[in-house]
Structure 1
Amino acid sequence: MPKSMTGFATLSGEHGPWSWTWDIRGVNGRGLDLRVRVPDWIEGLEPAVRAAVPQAVKRGSVTVSLRLTRAEDEAAAGIDPAGLTRVLEQLRQVEATAAGQGLALRPTSAAEIVAMRGVQSAGRDESETQALSAALVAQLPGLLGALDEMRAREGAALVRNLSAQVDDIARLTGEARALIDARRDQMAEALRRNLARVMENADGADPDRVAQELALIAVKADVTEELDRLDAHVTAARALVAAEGPVGRKLDFLCQEFNREANTLCSKAQNAELTGLGLDLKTAIDQMREQIQNVE
């Protein structure tokens, strides 16, 4: 069954002094657009996330973020010399550029500098970081599984709506076919009148040209092919709605074909009731397309 591209999930965990909350959110997207927001000092974590997500999500805009805290951060925190040097150099560059443009900046306090990113060190050692990374990566299947469950529930609702809309298109197509059958004599009379007009102005005309005009009149009055294609599209849509895996793009392309046939039906209708059915078809197809934008 198709899944929705919309969903979210959270998952919390702990390891030693560390506690965290994973957050993953998915919304509509043309392809798979993945954004990862995790601490850059946890080596290998971001690549692990980028490798895991495409296994569960094939399409959509997905954001994965991690909120990580340490119980004794305040007690264990110290100054990272390299980080401090980097921040001070950046401050000097900013102050020099401002002075060159005649701007006077307020002096930066030591407390403000210490609070800047990268200045403080939590006293992490390599083994601790590796163990933390392993614990975080181990939770990814559970996080993605929770997201997948929500996307499946949303997908089930989409399938119900899409099935109803496909049924509506099938009903309108059937009504159009019944209308044509009921008005076949009227349409034949309209064709005879058109033929008479052509023949009245056919004196000295090229017989081949007259035959072409007659053929055009017949084609413009016949919408059987359009209705046959609409029936075929209904069958294809029902198969896609019942299929497993990503089908959103295929359904979107199919909607374009639905709309093309509905437009042609309206342009060839030559009948107010048939035109009205064509417009109802276009409305139903447009509603279906709106739902399809959420399908993976």
Structure 2
Amino acid sequence: MAHSMTAFSRQDSDTAAGSLQIELRSVNQRYLEPHFRLPEALRDLEPMFREALRNRLARGKVECTLRFEPTGNEAALSVDRRRLAALATALGEVRESVPEATMPDALSLLDHPGVLDRRGPDMAAVKQEALALFQAALDDLVAGRAREGEKLAALIRERLIAVNAQVAEVHRLMPHILERQRVQLLERMEAIRAELEPQRLEAELVLLAQKADVDEELDRLTTHVAEVARQLGQPGPVGRRLDFLMQELNREANTLSSKSVVAATTRCAVELKVLIEQMREQIQNIE
């Protein structure tokens, strides 16, 4: 099943510690290329996020943005009274020993290590919530890439039908092509009969016949179309195989064009190249 490399997912969660929001955006890229924007307090989640992406995705540029808004504007504050009493006792001893020493004010006492307890959110719990939220966003992203991939596959299948129609048209034109080839051979033979030896003349006729023979190109076009259709139904990443098959289809269309001896064949070859290019553009977005 073909998956697109283009998708978006956003997930939100309200926890006891605050609100979490995560966004995942993916676009086409030759390899898997993740980028992360995380709060500093949650920065150590990046390796786990990166590993999860690597396990689920093969290609694409993926941008991950995580936001965390703690509940309330300030962390809860409380004074450790025992610590403050011990500090006051120590300051009293300093005052007795060094009367001229300047004593600290209240704010300075609060800045002393251990006196003021700044109780922020439980970051361990927040990290667990963020991991679960990321997993939900990743599941949604993969599902979105699958849905988009189905749409791309449907567009490609439509063009495969059109390619087969052009191949069938060339087959239908074959009697006309062969007749035109026979006329050209006769005209060429009359033009060069007096100039060439019999052996050289025979070689020229064989060369002209080979040049107009397009059966092999038509067979390969049919084979490549069938393989593209098969790859679209295969599990796992198929984008690179499909891109290679587009190159092969284009090569056969070019050869068909170069061998054309009637205008109708040339038109079919041009239409084939247009269809192949349209498929190639869609395949650039397939994982």
Q: TM-score, normalised by structure 1?
A: 0.77
Aligned-pair distance for 1:201?
1.5
Per-residue deviation, 1:233:
0.7
* Count of residues in correspondence between the two structures: 248
Residues 77-124 of structure 1, C-alpha deviations (whole Å, 9 max, x = no match):
9xxxxxxxxxxxxxxxxxxxxxxxxxxxxxxxxxxxxxxxxxxxx957
Report the 3-state secondary structure (helix = DSSP H, G, I; strand = E; otherwise coil) of the residue aligned with 1:162. Answer: helix
TM-superposed CA distance for 1:22, in Å, is: 0.6
Equivalent residue number for residue 131 of structure 2: 137
Displacement after TM superposition at 1:181 (Å): 3.1
Q: 1:22 to 1:124 in 2, by over 3 A?
A: farther
Task: Quote the offset at 1:251 in angstroms.
Answer: 0.9
In structure 2, give the amino acid aligned to 1:284: L
1:83 matched residue in structure 2: none
1:166-177 map, 5 Å:
166-177=160-171
SS of the counterpart of 2:42? Answer: coil
AA aligned opposite 1:4: S
> What pairs up with 1:12-27 in 2 under 5 angstroms?
12-27=12-27
Relative to structure 2, which stretch is displaced further, 252-261 or 179-188? 179-188
Structure 1 CA distance for aligned equivalents of residues 232 and 274 of structure 2: 20
**Distance across 2 between alignment mates of 1:62 and 1:271:** 50
Q: Select 1:200's aligned residue among 194, 208, 211.
A: 194
**Take 1:150 and 1:186, find their aligned partners in 2: how far apart are those partners?**
53
Gap regions ≥5 residues in structure 2: 78-116
Match of 1:49 in 2: 49
Partner of 2:74: 74
Q: Name 2:225's counterpart in structure 1.
A: 234
Correspondence list, 1:235-254, <5 A: 235-254=226-245
Alpha-carbon RMSD across the aligned residues, in angstroms, is 2.2
Aligned-partner residue type, residue 130 of structure 1: A
1:34 lines up with 2:34 in the alignment: yes
Task: Identify if the C-alpha distance between structure 1 residues 192 and 6 changes in structure 2 by more than 3 Å, giving closer, same or farther.
Answer: same
The 3 A distance-change label for structure 1 pair 123 and 264 is farther
Partner SS, residue 65 of structure 1: strand
Per the alignment, residue 269 of structure 2 pairs with 278
Instruction: Evaluate the alpha carbon distance shift between residue 293 and residue 123 of structure 1 in structure 2; reply closer, same or farther with a 3 A threshold.
Output: farther
The question of whether the paired residues in 2 share the 8 Å contact of 1:43 and 1:133 is answered with no
Write the distance in 2 (CA, Å) between the matches of 1:133 and 1:200: 90
Distance 2:178 2:119 in 1: 84
Post-superposition offset of 1:51? 0.3
* Runs (5+) with no aligned partner, structure 1: 78-121
TM-score (norm 2): 0.80
Larger Rg: 2
Kindly state the Cα deviation for residue 50 of structure 1 after the two structures are TM-superposed: 0.3
CA–CA distance in structure 2, aligned partners of residues 159 and 187 of structure 1: 39
CA distance in 2, matches of 1:138, 1:35: 19
Match of 2:285 in 1: 294
